[in-house]
């Protein structure tokens, strides 16, 4: 220190201060303030940029969340519209099978029946039965006489007569009430011959009420469009009163094309509007959910303004603090230099003493920090946290933990006897352990969760043997406990399902055996019945054998014991053999046709021939089983980008889009398959997918053009085959 500065130092009140600071202790040097303020600004610049990016990303995420909510609302409205139409269509189909409708010998009785249906279900505006020429037999809801109204020229009548299937028409305005209606028509096989049509005009009032219950914000509007783009559900009566068409609007065209998404458009008076859309399942309708962006994103934008204001206020306060800090810097700097000099003198004396203990401490800290279990040190009889390793900090709140007691941080643990257990360990010195002990942990917001813990509690003492606190070593075993429980539950479900599936063939076997025994007891054997019973025995034995094989495969998959060999396989040859075998097994009365096409004569992959043959057999048998009589099954094998692509397409009942992933789960079948009455266990596609994935491949289900399902399997080619792939690809 310069001599002139040392001369200014003096002792005052137990401190060494300078003459300058003694003369003017509250007037620091002004030159430090701009310097500190500049440093503060430079240091805060990255923080400012991060805050701006964070706010921008937060707004973008929040707006994306609102958009997803509106899309979810559109999906919910689409499902409600689908349920509304399908429910009323089911009513009409059930009515079409009644005796009064199929054999309308008494028009008066049919009139009474249809009027009762209209009174019980106010959704029907009119209900009527038309003969095969389009003349009305009975028309409930409109006072007209039989054979006075002809609907033969109407589209819905022609479509029902042409296809023989139920039809839902485009929206139209009723002649009496001038409200939007849709015509629902189903075919009726008349007892006297010919095909009639049972049709009704469906009021949409109930659908509008159901959609209104989905809306909590009055600024949200739900619109429903028919297949030609007419708006027939809308909160504005003028819009639905004219059946305004939205064809040409990008959002309307998108939803009528079957797309799900959202757009921001400029609506009336150039107001920006958020429009979410989703198609109605099983109908060519679409649902639009629209809301001005000021209402949709208003809360997000207000929160952005408030956050920006708070950040600006914080910056101003921090700047003022920096300005004041600069004023005190000189005095503090001088005092710090004096304190540093004294500390360095003391440190020299202590360094040699502390080096050894410091090394030991760091070793213990590294050991504790690297431990795979949570280790905490609780001090005193109040059990205050004084040390936690990284594994323990993962389980702690983000707020400050050190110095707080277990009861303060986790009051729920005190209610569960944990604090009482710590008291016992601290008082007696007896070590306590627990294995997979359940503890209810408070997650905040009124939510709680049960976690399982294995722990050891031990007391630690000072050099004189007096208790100082408790050391806790614990490990969260929740996943292990829940995993064991899930395994037990899956095992129980597997055994239950397997028992149920095996019961059917075994019962049938027992019945056939019982009938054969009765014939033998009576001494009269009917060859025809005996042949039928023995044939049933063979069928049911084959069914049980196949089911047992599938159950064994499921067991191997779930236990990880599914063995896959890796031998060179000609997939083209294997495919041709499987197709020929399936053709030979086709019953003559089905008239199915299997068409097979390959890009090359040889497609070599590394795999298990028996398992891949099982994949081909499952896909081909499913395609035939779920196709109508006379249907065509297409099998195509090609090489693309170093992979073999197998495509099996049928033109059968198809798989609903929302159930495509579920068909690959064990014991799962589609709703269409259940309704068809075709037998199946729901195991074939599950086993097929696991075999394909075990070969490093993929399998997907998609729609077939014109109806049906297409399964696409891709498998990696063998090394030599992969190198030749570009020469084998076709346009």
Query: By the 8 A CB rule, do 129 and 136 touch?
Result: yes
Q: Read off φ and ψ for residue 280, nearest 5 degrees.
A: -85, 120
- The mean per-residue pLDDT over the stretch 653-661 comes to 83
The predicted pLDDT at position 645 comes to 93
Q: Let me know how long the chain is.
A: 731
The predicted pLDDT at position 187 comes to 93
User: How many Cβ atoms sit within 10 Å of the Cβ of residue 618?
Assistant: 21
- Which tokens is 214 given? 């989905």
Query: By the 8 A CB rule, do 100 and 110 touch?
Result: yes
The predicted pLDDT at position 654 comes to 85
The predicted pLDDT at position 16 comes to 40
The closest alpha carbon to 469, from 396, 551, 529, 403, belongs to: 403
The predicted pLDDT at position 269 comes to 65
Query: By the 8 A CB rule, do 609 and 575 touch?
Result: no
pLDDT band for position 166 (cuts 50, 70, 90) = very high
Question: 448 Cβ partners below 8 Å, 6+ apart?
Answer: 412, 440, 441, 442
The predicted pLDDT at position 498 comes to 64
* 496 has pLDDT over 70: no
How far apart are alpha carbons 491 and 406 in whole angstroms? Answer: 40
The closest alpha carbon to 555, from 544, 563, 543, 565, belongs to: 563
* 190 has pLDDT over 60: yes
Helix 527-558 crosses helix 684-694 at what angle (to 10 degrees)? 40
- The mean per-residue pLDDT over the stretch 167-189 comes to 86
Least confident of 31-35, 314-318, 410-414: 31-35
Least confident of 325-329, 634-638, 666-670, 696-700: 325-329
Alpha helices in 429-526 (DSSP H): 478-522
- Which tokens is 86 given? 């399908």
Residue 470 burial (C-beta neighbours within 10 Å; 0-12, 13-18, 19+): buried
SS3 content of the chain, % helix, strand, coil (to 5): 50, 25, 25
How far apart are alpha carbons 359 and 590 in whole angstroms? Answer: 85
pLDDT band for position 731 (cuts 50, 70, 90) = very low
> Backbone dihedral region of 597: left (phi > 0), alpha (psi from -120 to 50 degrees) or beta?
beta
Domain 64-296 and domain 483-558 have a common topology: no
* 627 has pLDDT over 80: yes
In CATH, the number for domain 567-728 is 3.30.565.10
pLDDT band for position 723 (cuts 50, 70, 90) = very low
Most confident option among 294-303, 604-613, 652-661: 604-613
Half-sphere exposure of 506 (CA within 13 A, CB side): 8
Give pLDDT tens digits for 405-462: 888 888 888 888 888 899 999 999 899 898 888 888 877 777 788 888 898 999 988 8
- The mean per-residue pLDDT over the stretch 350-356 comes to 70
* 196 has pLDDT over 50: yes
Q: What is the DSSP letter of 647?
A: E
- The mean per-residue pLDDT over the stretch 554-576 comes to 81
pLDDT band for position 621 (cuts 50, 70, 90) = confident
Does domain 483-558 match CATH 1.10.287.130? yes
Q: Read off φ and ψ for residue 634, nearest 5 degrees.
A: -105, 130
Half-sphere exposure of 617 (CA within 13 A, CB side): 13
Give pLDDT tens digits for 222-255: 999 988 888 888 887 777 778 888 888 888 888 8
β-pair type (124-130, 136-140) = antiparallel
Decide which of 3.30.300.180, 3.90.1150.60, 3.20.20.70, 3.30.450.20 is the CATH code for 64-296. Answer: 3.30.450.20
pTM, to two decimals: 0.40
Give pLDDT tens digits for 96-142: 888 888 888 888 888 888 888 888 888 888 888 988 888 988 888 88
Level-2 CATH architecture, domain 371-476:
2-Layer Sandwich (3.30)
User: How many Cβ atoms sit within 10 Å of the Cβ of residue 651?
Assistant: 21
State the maximum Cα–Cα separation within the chain, in Å, rounded to a whole number.
136
**Token pair 């037998």 in the structure block, residue:** 679
Residue 138 burial (C-beta neighbours within 10 Å; 0-12, 13-18, 19+): buried
**H or E, element range at 249:** none
How far apart are alpha carbons 680 and 608 in whole angstroms? Answer: 25
C-alpha angle 260-266-267 in degrees, rounded to nearest 5: 95
The predicted pLDDT at position 14 comes to 40
* 550 has pLDDT over 70: no
The closest alpha carbon to 699, from 707, 709, 688, belongs to: 688
Beta bridge partners, 697, equal none
Residue 469 burial (C-beta neighbours within 10 Å; 0-12, 13-18, 19+): buried
Give pLDDT tens digits for 283-293: 889 999 988 88
The predicted pLDDT at position 279 comes to 94
Give pLDDT tens digits for 68-98: 988 999 899 889 888 888 888 888 888 888 8
Question: 279 Cβ partners below 8 Å, 6+ apart?
Answer: 78, 255, 256, 258, 259, 260, 285, 286, 287
Alpha helices in 371-459 (DSSP H): 390-393, 406-409, 411-415, 418-428
- Domain range summary for the chain, segments of one domain joined by +: 3-30+299-369, 64-296, 371-476, 483-558, 567-728
β-pair type (593-598, 632-640) = parallel
* 671 has pLDDT over 80: no
Query: By the 8 A CB rule, do 386 and 469 touch?
Result: yes
The predicted pLDDT at position 326 comes to 66
Q: What is the DSSP letter of 664?
A: G
Q: What is the DSSP letter of 696?
A: T
The predicted pLDDT at position 606 comes to 92
Question: 488 Cβ partners below 8 Å, 6+ apart?
Answer: none
* 713 has pLDDT over 90: yes
Percent of the chain with pLDDT over 70: 84
The predicted pLDDT at position 29 comes to 46
The closest alpha carbon to 235, from 182, 189, 289, 158, belongs to: 289
Most confident option among 175-179, 470-474, 483-487, 557-561: 470-474
How far apart are alpha carbons 412 and 332 in whole angstroms? Answer: 47
* 157 has pLDDT over 80: yes
pLDDT band for position 725 (cuts 50, 70, 90) = very low
């Amino acid at each position: 220190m310069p001599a002139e500065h040392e001369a200014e130092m003096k002792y005052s009140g137990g401190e060494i201060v300078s003459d300058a600071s003694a003369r003017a202790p509250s007037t620091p040097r002004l030159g430090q303030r701009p310097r500190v303020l500049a440093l503060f600004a430079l240091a805060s610049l990255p923080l400012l940029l991060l805050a701006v990016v964070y706010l921008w990303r937060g707004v973008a995420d929040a707006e994306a969340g609102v958009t997803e909510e509106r899309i979810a609302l559109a999906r919910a409205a689409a499902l409600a519209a689908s349920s509304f139409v399908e429910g009323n269509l089911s009513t009409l189909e059930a009515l079409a099978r009644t005796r009064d409708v199929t054999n309308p010998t008494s028009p008066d009785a049919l009139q009474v029946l249809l009027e009762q249906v209209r009174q019980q279900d106010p959704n029907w505006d009119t209900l009527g039965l038309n003969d095969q020429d389009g003349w009305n037999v009975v028309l409930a809801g409109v006072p007209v006489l039989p054979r006075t109204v002809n609907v033969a020229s109407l589209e819905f009548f022609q479509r029902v007569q042409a296809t023989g299937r139920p039809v839902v028409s485009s929206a139209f305005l009723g002649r009496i009430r001038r409200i939007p209606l849709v015509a629902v028509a189903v075919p009726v096989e008349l007892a006297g011959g010919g095909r009639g049509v049972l049709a009704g005009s469906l009021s949409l009032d109930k659908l509008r009420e159901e959609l209104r219950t989905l809306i909590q914000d009055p600024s949200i509007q739900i619109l429903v469009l028919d297949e030609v783009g007419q708006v027939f559900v809308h909160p504005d009566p003028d819009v639905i009163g004219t059946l305004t068409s939205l064809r040409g609007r990008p959002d309307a065209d998108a939803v009528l094309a079957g797309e799900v998404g959202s757009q921001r458009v400029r609506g009336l008076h150039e107001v920006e509007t958020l429009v979410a859309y989703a198609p109605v399942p099983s109908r060519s309708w679409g649902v639009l959910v629209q809301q001005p962006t000021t209402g949709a994103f208003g809360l997000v934008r207000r929160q952005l303004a408030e956050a920006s204001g708070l950040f600006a206020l914080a910056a101003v306060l921090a700047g003022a603090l920096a300005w004041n800090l600069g004023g005190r810097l000189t005095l503090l700097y001088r005092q710090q230099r004096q304190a540093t000099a004294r500390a360095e003198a003391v440190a020299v004396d202590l360094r040699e003493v502390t080096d050894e203990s410091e090394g030991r401490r760091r070793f213990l800290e590294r050991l504790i920090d690297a431990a795979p279990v949570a280790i905490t040190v609780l001090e005193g009889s109040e059990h205050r946290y004084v040390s936690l390793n990284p594994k323990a900090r993962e389980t702690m709140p983000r707020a400050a933990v050190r110095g707080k007691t277990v009861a303060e941080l986790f009051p729920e643990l005190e209610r569960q006897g944990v604090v009482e257990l710590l008291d016992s360990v601290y008082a007696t010195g007896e070590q306590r352990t627990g294995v997979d002990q359940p503890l209810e942990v408070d997650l905040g917001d009124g939510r709680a969760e049960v976690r399982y813990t294995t722990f050891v509690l031990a007391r630690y003492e000072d050099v004189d043997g007096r208790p100082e606190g408790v050391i806790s070593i614990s490990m969260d075993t929740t996943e292990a406990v829940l995993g064991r429980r899930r395994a037990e539950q899956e095992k129980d479900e597997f055994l239950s399902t397997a028992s149920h599936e095996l019961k059917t063939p075994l019962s049938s076997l027992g019945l056939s055996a019982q009938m054969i025994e009765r014939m033998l007891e009576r001494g009269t054997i009917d060859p025809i019945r005996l042949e039928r019973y023995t044939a049933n025995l063979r069928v049911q034995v084959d069914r049980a054998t196949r089911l047992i094989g599938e159950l064994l495969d499921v067991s191997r998959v779930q236990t990880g014991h599914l063995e896959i060999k890796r031998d060179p396989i000609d997939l083209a040859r294997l495919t041709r053999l499987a197709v020929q075998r399936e053709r030979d097994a086709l019953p003559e009365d089905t008239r199915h046709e299997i068409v097979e096409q390959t890009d090359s004569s040889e497609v070599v992959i590394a795999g298990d021939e028996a398992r891949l043959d099982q994949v081909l057999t499952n896909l081909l048998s499913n395609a035939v089983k779920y196709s109508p009589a006379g249907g065509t099954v297409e099998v195509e094998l090609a090489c693309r980008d170093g992979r073999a692509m197998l495509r099996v397409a049928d033109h059968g009942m198809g798989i609903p889009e929302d159930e495509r992933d579920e068909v690959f789960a064990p014991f799962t079948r589609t709703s269409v398959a259940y309704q068809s009455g075709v037998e199946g266990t729901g195991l074939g596609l599950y086993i097929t997918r696991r075999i394909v994935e075990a070969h490093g491949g993929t399998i997907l289900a998609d729609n077939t053009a014109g109806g049906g399902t297409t399964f696409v399997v891709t498998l990696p080619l063998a090394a030599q085959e992969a190198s030749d792939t570009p020469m084998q690809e076709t346009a």
